[in-house]
Chain A
Amino acid sequence: MNIYKHEFKSYLKSVGIWSVSIFLIILIYLSAISSISADIQTLNEVLASFPEEFLIAFGMTDMDFSSILGMYGLAFLFCQICLAIQASNYGFSLVSIEERELTADFLLAKPIGRGKILTAKLLAAIASLTITNLVVWVSSFLVINMLNDGQPYETKSLILLLLSIVVFQMFFLAVGVLISLLMKRVRSVTPLSMALAFGMYVISAFGSMLGEDTIEVISPFKHFEPNFIIKNAAYDMPLALISVITILVAIPASYLLYSKRNIHTAV
């Protein structure tokens, strides 16, 4: 419990920054799109003038600008990118920060097993990600209802979309931890988390464009594609399961690697 508290405290500032940013993204994107889409005719003309590759890259091919959820899908995609970076950050630094800042000697010489340390750290990271998750829920409902002028919309799709965040975050957290433990030393977290988050996004966005259908199945951006969920009011189950399975493999593997890890000194 003491480690959990210590860890959780260290996340507070970062959670605050990410939460505010994500709220602003939802607010700004959604109000911008909805003000443009007031004139659907013009919007469609604008979209048609873009090259198709561009539309694919930004997830704007199947967009339905006639409903608020159709517009929300695009805002949610940007949300997902932020959530992916945040979760990867926490994942990559979860264990590696102690080794980089050389505090591992302090923590691991305490009378507590490695497994318990990892559990406390994971729980603190998950709690922090959950706060951000809740902020996405509240901001989404708030902004949608604010802009929708009381018109009805498909609540089920929205809830399914928001529920996917848990798995989405866990994917990047777990994969981040696993990769950091496979590396001998993590010198800097940001490049790694950027690479993982944007890498997955690019795989999902450009996979179909390159005609490489197979590679995009590894990306959670594909597993939980907003447009698909909104259109069908359902998950693409086989794909969503890939995310779940990855998490279920990465976490026990991380425990195993951590319990056997050698902690090196400053040099």
Chain B
Amino acid sequence: MSIIEANNLTKYYGKARGIVDVSFNVEEGEIFGFIGPNGAGKSTTIRLFCSLIYPTSGEAKIFGKDAIKHGPEIRQDIGYLPSEVFYYEGMKVLELLKYSASFYKKDCTERIYELSDLMELDLKRRIDDLSYGNKKKVGIVQGLLHRPRLLLLDEPTSGLDPLMQKKFYKLIREENKRGVTVFLSSHILGVVQKMCSRVAIIKEGSIVDIQDVRTLQRDNYKKIHVVADEIDEKGFDVPGVIKLEKENGAVNFFYKGDINLITKLISEKKISDVTIEAPTLEEIFIHYYE
């Protein structure tokens, strides 16, 4: 069963575009990446899943149920971490987490302490005394304390230091191993590359591509770097080669096609070094946004 089904979701804010005709499915147990620049419609999509906003047309189904009609029931099993976190300023961290827990049908006390311990969150402090990073930690604990089946993470690590980011992603992986489905929106490709099995790319409100991360890297361009004392880059200008450029006695290019052809071509030249590697997602996706 698909955990998330977005069917032709469209959202306009008055005349301003939110998202247009967005469709995709997220399967159970997946970590699904959602990537795009700021303002592309990532948050809009997630907010539609939580029924914080309502679609202009189209529908979203979570756990096979309509996100609006069965909203409260669905949200029992959703953990949502907004990109910008704001909580009741006068409350202490523990009070807020307990208030958050009071909405769910299970006892979450133990999990609150477990998660706060892990994220090194001081439960006794007041919300308005917390730094942005610490507020984000409150958000993380708040989103996970009820052991949700689906996690909606909107730019989850902005504001967290690298050490905490690492801990956070480890935590998310563990949750995923327990069977939790994760929807991870980010504009940082490296994160998605490390975490996700599939990724959807959104640009100006529309999905431009949905790909398996591994096939994407395997069946895609290879990044080739050739070093030689005297080399003419024009020698590599064959079909399948793009972004051919020469700098400091080295030639860089991307190649897609029969790998034997290009290795043969390289072997014909007198070179001192060669590297052939899979490109990063960043390099793969960059052409979507040019």
CB contact between A110 and one of B53, B54, B103 (< 8 Å): that residue: B103
Please report the C-alpha to C-alpha distance between residue A2 and residue B53 in the assembled complex, in whole angstroms: 24
Question: B282 within 8 Å of A by Cβ?
Answer: no
Contacts of B142 in A (CB 8 A): 106
Q: How far is the CB of A31 from chain B (nearest CB, A)?
A: 37
A106 touches B87 (CB 8 A): yes
Please report the C-alpha to C-alpha distance between residue A106 and residue B82 in the assembled complex, in whole angstroms: 8
CB contact between A102 and one of B47, B74, B78, B86 (< 8 Å): that residue: B86
Please report the C-alpha to C-alpha distance between residue A111 and residue B73 in the assembled complex, in whole angstroms: 6
Please report the C-alpha to C-alpha distance between residue A104 and residue B99 in the assembled complex, in whole angstroms: 14
Give the tally of cross-chain contacts (CB within 8 A). 65
Which bracket fits the contact residues of B?
A: 20 to 34
Question: A237 within 8 Å of B by Cβ?
Answer: no
B51 touches A103 (CB 8 A): no
CB contact between B80 and one of A109, A264, A265 (< 8 Å): that residue: A109
Question: B174 within 8 Å of A by Cβ?
Answer: no
A265 touches B86 (CB 8 A): no
Q: How far is the CB of B188 from chain A (nearest CB, A)?
A: 20
Contacts of A260 in B (CB 8 A): 54
B89 touches A101 (CB 8 A): yes
Please report the C-alpha to C-alpha distance between residue A251 and residue B7 in the assembled complex, in whole angstroms: 34
CB contact between B72 and one of A112, A262, A265 (< 8 Å): that residue: A112
Please report the C-alpha to C-alpha distance between residue A110 and residue B47 in the assembled complex, in whole angstroms: 13
B103 touches A112 (CB 8 A): yes
CB contact between B13 and one of A101, A108, A109, A262 (< 8 Å): that residue: A262
A262 touches B50 (CB 8 A): no
CB contacts under 8 Å to B, within A57-111, are 101-106, 108-111
Q: How far is the CB of B67 from chain A (nearest CB, A)?
A: 12
A110 touches B88 (CB 8 A): no
Do A266 and B84 contact each other (CB < 8 Å), given the known contacts A104-B52, A111-B104, A260-B54? yes
Map CB proximity to B onto A233-263 as digits: 1 under 8 Å, 0 otherwise: 0000000000000000000000000001011
Please report the C-alpha to C-alpha distance between residue A52 and residue B52 in the assembled complex, in whole angstroms: 55
Map CB proximity to A onto B47-82 as digits: 1 under 8 Å, 0 otherwise: 100111110000000000000000111111010101
A-side interface residues, number (CB < 8 Å): 22
Question: A6 within 8 Å of B by Cβ?
Answer: yes
Q: How far is the CB of B112 from chain A (nearest CB, A)?
A: 15
Map CB proximity to B onto A92-136 as digits: 1 under 8 Å, 0 otherwise: 000000000111111011111100100000000000000000000
Map CB proximity to A onto B244-283 as digits: 1 under 8 Å, 0 otherwise: 0000000000000000000000000000000000000000
Question: B165 within 8 Å of A by Cβ?
Answer: no
Question: B217 within 8 Å of A by Cβ?
Answer: no
Question: B45 within 8 Å of A by Cβ?
Answer: no
Contacts of B89 in A (CB 8 A): 101
CB contact between B52 and one of A103, A116, A263 (< 8 Å): that residue: A263
B102 touches A111 (CB 8 A): no
Do A111 and B86 contact each other (CB < 8 Å), given the known contacts A104-B52, A263-B47? no
Q: How far is the CB of A21 from chain B (nearest CB, A)?
A: 22
Q: How far is the CB of B18 from chain A (nearest CB, A)?
A: 10
Contacts of A110 in B (CB 8 A): 75, 100, 103
Contacts of A6 in B (CB 8 A): 88, 99
Indicate the member of B84, B88, B90, B100 with the most A CB atoms within 10 Å: B88
Contacts of B71 in A (CB 8 A): 113
Question: B10 within 8 Å of A by Cβ?
Answer: no
Q: How far is the CB of B94 from chain A (nearest CB, A)?
A: 14
Contacts of B157 in A (CB 8 A): none
Contact sample, A vs B, 17 pairs, CB 8 Å cutoff? A2-B99, A2-B103, A101-B88, A103-B86, A105-B52, A109-B78, A109-B80, A109-B82, A110-B75, A110-B100, A111-B73, A111-B104, A112-B75, A260-B54, A262-B52, A263-B47, A265-B47
